[in-house]
Amino acid sequence: MGEPKPHPLRVLVVEDEALIALELECLLDDLGYVIVGIAGSSQEAIALGRETHPDVALVDIHLVDGPTGVAVAEALSADPRTTVVFMTANAKRIPEDFAGAVGVIAKPYSERVVAGALRYVAACRAGHVGSLDGLDGFCLAARHAERMHH
């Protein structure tokens, strides 16, 4: 957690539950990431995505305007600069193609799993092979898991 990062990942949090968003913000800050914004609705999320081009977007499925997280993931992952990770207690809502997301962090999450998932994403973005050892609460999208094995 303490390793120095020349360019810390810039993270967009898409979460309508203020308490969860706030705590997540503190956690990400502790882990050395930069939060570019917090969005509670799909419009806000997509607008913030266009504005900030985040490296990573953590996306809940249920937002203020309904189960619109899937559409948000589709829109955000259309930008090749952004890696989308779902973060939800409702993984059954995720479509088979994961709407462009690389995986899902199950809620309720432990801070360790969030840290591990982000470490994995950072490694992949840097062209390394990330490790998923002991990360029970983080599942990869099928096509992404396949790529790992090649």
Partner 1 sequence: MIARARPLEGTIDPGVTFAAAFEGSPTPMVLVDARRSDHPIVWANVAFLTLTGYDWDDVAGRNCRLLQGPMTDPETVARISAAIAAGACFEAELVNYRKDGSWFWNGLTLSPVRDANGVVTHYYSAQADMTGKHKLEAAMTHANADLGRRVAEQTADLRAALEQKTALLHEVDHRVKNNLQVISSLMLLKARRTPEGEARNALNGMADRIGALSTVHRMLYSAGDVTRFDFREFADDFVGDLVAGIDGERMAVNASIDSMAVSAAMAAPLALMLHELATNAVRHAFPGDRPGRVSIKARRCDGALRMVVEDDGIGLSAGPPNPSGFGRSLVEMVVRQLRGTLTWSETAPGTRVEISVPLDAVSLSDGPADPADKAS
Residues of this chain that interact with partner 1 (CB under 8 A) are: 17, 19-20, 22-24, 26-27, 62, 89-90, 92, 106-112, 134, 136-137
Neighbours of 18 (CB within 10 A): 10
Q: Which is nearer to partner 1, 122 or 139 (CB)?
A: 139
In sequence order, the 6+-apart residues with CB closer than 8 A to the CB of 36 are 10, 11, 12, 48, 52, 54
**By C-beta, is 47 or 142 nearer to partner 1?**
142
C-beta of 30: minimal distance to partner 1 in Å?
8
Q: Which residue number, 41 or 52, has a Cβ lying nearer to partner 1?
A: 41
Smallest gap from residue 7 Cβ to partner 1 (A) = 25
CB of 133 to partner 1, least distance (A): 9
Counting every residue written for the chain, the total comes to: 150
Nearer to partner 1, 81 or 112 (CB): 112
Nearest CB to partner 1, comparing residues 75 and 117? 117
Which residues lie across from 85 on neighbouring strands?
Answer: 58, 103
For residues 106 and 129, give the distance between their C-alpha atoms in angstroms, rounded to a whole number.
22
* Residue 51 Cβ vs partner 1, minimum distance, rounded to whole Å: 26
Residues 6+ apart with CB under 8 A from 49: 12, 57, 72, 75, 76, 79, 82
In terms of phi and psi (left: phi > 0; alpha: psi -120 to 50; beta: otherwise), the region of 15 is beta
Minimum CB separation of residue 50 from partner 1 in Å reads 28
